[in-house]
């Protein structure tokens, strides 16, 4: 499975699991995501993923988490990111899809 396919498969899995709808967000969020500028319109949730050098082969596999939350009653995330160590991702002992699905 290619990396792009792994991210698409993870997104499809979570789209099936999360069946509710949250308020869309149309705003200019401060700063930038791990993947570049934030989108100005977010339908439910925006998660970006990328590879980057963290600590080399065999150490930290990656990290993930929310960045911006809705204010008010729900407090649900608006944005999040997944960062995988470029040296570890895709190794037989670290299947990319399993890692991405569990981190989102």
pLDDT at position 102, please?
67
pLDDT digits (tens, 9 = 90+) for 3-12: 677 778 877 8
- Residue ranges per domain, the chain? 3-103
Cα(40)–Cα(104) distance, rounded to whole angstroms? 21
Helix, strand or coil for residue 95?
coil
pLDDT at position 75, please?
83
Regions of the chain short of the pLDDT cut 70: 1-3, 73, 94-99, 102-104
Neighbouring residues of 77: CB distance < 8 A, sequence distance ≥ 6 = 45, 66, 67, 68, 69, 70
Contact 96, 3 (CB under 8 A): yes
Cα(56)–Cα(73) distance, rounded to whole angstroms? 41
């Amino acid at each position: 499975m290619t990396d792009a396919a792994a991210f698409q498969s993870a997104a499809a899995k979570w789209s099936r699991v999360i069946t509710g709808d949250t308020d869309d967000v149309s705003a200019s969020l401060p700063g930038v995501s791990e993947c570049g500028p934030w989108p100005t319109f977010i339908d439910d949730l925006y998660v970006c993923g990328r590879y980057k050098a963290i600590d080399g082969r065999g150490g930290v596999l990656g990290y993930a988490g929310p960045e911006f939350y809705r204010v008010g009653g729900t407090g649900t995330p608006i944005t999040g990111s997944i960062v995988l160590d470029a040296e570890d991702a895709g190794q037989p002992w670290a299947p990319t899809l399993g890692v991405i699905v569990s981190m989102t």
